[in-house]
Amino acid sequence: MLVGEAYMILPKTYEVRFESFNSTCGEYCDFSKILFMGRDHKANGTMELKQDFDNDNFFVSGESFIDSNGSGEYKKLPFTIPKQPICKALESYAVYFDASLKYGVNTDFPLDARPCPVPKGVYYLKDVLIKTDDWPAIMPRGYFKAVANLVKNDEDVASLEIVAHITDLF
């Protein structure tokens, strides 16, 4: 554990920017109004959660993949989120987004409060960049794809896929 914490404080030698975002949400959410703008690919738009997501009915799982050379052939990485109640997942993994999403600055989603249930509503994103303050010091380079699945009654009901490009700073 101490070794893992030591890696977190090493200086970052990489930068990350959004490349694409896809979702299938159906009756649960709508992320179709999120766009990446400008040279920096800042995320802008709105996201809608169409109902409250509580720990009793909704679970989240996730996987990650890397495509080192941009060929479209992704390899699965060991960074995963095992299926768990949505609020537990939010509490455990929101730290990776805290530097990027600031309530009242670039979003009105109350990520900092770690709400449970996750409240329905329409939330804005404005000029959101990926900030890697709480990311590991060592990350694979290339196209990093994260896929999160929303599960209800043991059935995948929604999915989010974010692709980011990780490159060396120098």
Does any domain span residue 5?
A: no
Q: CA 73, 143, 125, 51 torsion: positive or negative?
A: positive
Nearest to 158 by CA among 28, 21, 20: 28
Q: Is the pLDDT of residue 86 over 90?
A: yes
Nearest to 128 by CA among 40, 49, 48, 25: 40
Q: Tell me the CATH number at 75.
A: 2.70.220
Does any domain span residue 6?
A: no
Does any domain span residue 8?
A: no
Does any domain span residue 35?
A: yes
Residue 44: pLDDT band by 50, 70, 90 thresholds? very high
DSSP 19: E
* pLDDT value of residue 10: 63
Residue 25: pLDDT band by 50, 70, 90 thresholds? very high
- For residue range 146-169, list pLDDT tens digits in order: 999 999 999 999 999 999 999 988
DSSP 135: S
Does any domain span residue 90?
A: yes
Does any domain span residue 76?
A: yes
- For residue range 112-134, list pLDDT tens digits in order: 999 999 999 999 999 999 998 88
* pLDDT value of residue 124: 97
Give the residue numbers spanning the domain of 148: 15-168
How many domains does the structure of the chain reveal?
1
